[in-house]
Structure 1
Amino acid sequence: MSTRTLAVVSAGLSVPSSTRLLADRLAQAGVEALAALDLAAAVEVVELRGHARDLADNLVTGFPNTALRTAVDTVTGADGLIAVTPIFSASYSGLFKTFFDVLDKEALTGKPVLMGATAGTARHSLALEHGMRPLFAYLRAVVTPTAVFAASEDWAGGDRTGAALSDRVRRAAGELAALVAQRPRAAVADPFDDPPPFGTLLAGL
């Protein structure tokens, strides 16, 4: 069975976090949807909360430290991305935006992305469409038609509300799995495949 990698970016600030809870549900659903297509999945989670200072340093220096570089490589090297943020003041969090600000502008080109968001009230649900979708369109990612928003009542609103969230999660995960399955896997470049001639190296000394 061929394996695909799903990177999960969670921008939750608290521990535990409803943002991480939604991210985990989307990741599990993504694994199950890929399995239905005879594809195994490896999930790698990036918790932005632990990189808040790293991101600030990157903004002012222009360079990521080792920990942030690992997180960036996890996201850029994955076959698919699940990105989940809390909504503050009707838009994604600053921490979430900062992470995508430090990525190379070509890093997500063509990458399948499933968007998710959480907030205290459903009034914020349109932030997925007026905030997050334009962000990933600018980065030229391929975003699933279904985005998943979870308000407080989705976690504690009874069977009907919980079932509605589960349906959205499954539908979005199925769309992500289909996009991941269709996308050719990127070849990993070997820096030693095409070494410069020895004479060229000597000429540079």
Structure 2
Amino acid sequence: MTRIAVIDNHGQFTHLEHRTLRDLGVDVEILDNDIPAAEIDADGLVLSGGPDMDRIGNCADYLELGVPVLGICLGMQIIAAELDGRVGSGDYGGYADVDVEILDDDDPLVGSLAPETRVWASHADEVKQLPDGFVHTGTSDVCGIESMSDTDRDLYGVQWHPEVAHTERGEEVFENFLAICER
């Protein structure tokens, strides 16, 4: 059975990420972001959302474990910042329903959502520049980089929250991530 660790970055929806994966039949656990990377035994990681970059614990170390990683909101921003992308304040700010245009319908994480999907997202902060090796996979009129993928390293990020009911087809994002972890 596929084993996924949800890394808790102190976000309000971390328990929903855990529940969604559990309901998909996954062996899943929530781990605090200060656990040493060497103690993690998982086939994939979800870096949860959270309030700010000052409380990301050992998340940078987790990117080196060689397992697929899905960053959600702050989790995506952590991936970008740690791999020399750029994160900055969003123009929009708080939570809103957003239509995301999928730019790569072959992308293993979000391609199945093409041509667009409606999501629930916070844009207080967002990725402003992709890290080297990443492909821009989703955009909206609120945020230029709504999703990104590096299929060579199996690192993926979405600015939105696929775990909340307001996001259409959010469960599909988790199903796609599981498929990545199982290959």
Partner of 1:197: none
In the aligned structure 2, how far is the partner of 1:135 from the partner of 1:94? 23
Are 1:124 and 2:123 matched, yes or no?
A: yes
Residues 45-100 of structure 1: per-residue CA shift (max 9 Å, x gap): 2123xx4xxxxxxxxxxxxxxxx33xx2343x311111112254xxxx2222x412
CA contact (8 A) 1:81 1:112 kept: yes
Q: Secondary structure at the match of 1:172?
A: helix
Give unpaired runs (5+ residues) of structure 1.
36-40, 52-67, 156-161, 183-205
Residue type of the alignment partner of 1:73:
A
Equivalent of 1:108 in 51, 65, 69: 65
Q: Do residues 21 (structure 1) and 11 (structure 2) align? A: no
Structure having the higher Rg: 1
TM-score, normalised via structure 2 length: 0.51
What is the root-mean-square deviation in Å for CA atoms of aligned residues?
A: 3.8
Which has more strand, going by share of residues? 2
Separation in structure 1 between the aligned mates of residue 55 and residue 128 of structure 2, nearest angstrom: 18
Q: What per-residue deviation string (whole Å, max 9, x for no partner) do you get for residues 140-199 of structure 1?
A: 74134x72624xxx96xxxxxx3x42522x1211111111111xxxxxxxxxxxxxxxxx
**Aligned length in residues:** 124
1:95 is matched with which residue: 37, 48, 55?
55
* Match in the other structure for 1:81: 45
Listed as ranges, the gaps of 5+ residues in structure 2 are 75-92, 96-120, 135-149
The answer to whether the Cα contact below 8 Å between 1:87 and 1:117 also exists between their aligned partners in 2 is no
The residue number in structure 2 matching 1:165 is 167
Question: Stretches of 4+ moved more than 3 A in 1?
Answer: 133-138
Q: Flag the structure with higher helix content.
A: 1
* Alpha-carbon spacing, 1:7–1:135, altered in 2? closer, same or farther (3 Å): farther
Would you say the 8 A contact 1:23–1:116 is kept in 2?
Answer: no
Q: Deviations over 1:10-63 (max 9, x none)?
A: 111xxxx5132343244335xx1xx5xxxxx32122123xx4xxxxxxxxxxxx
TM-score (norm 1): 0.46
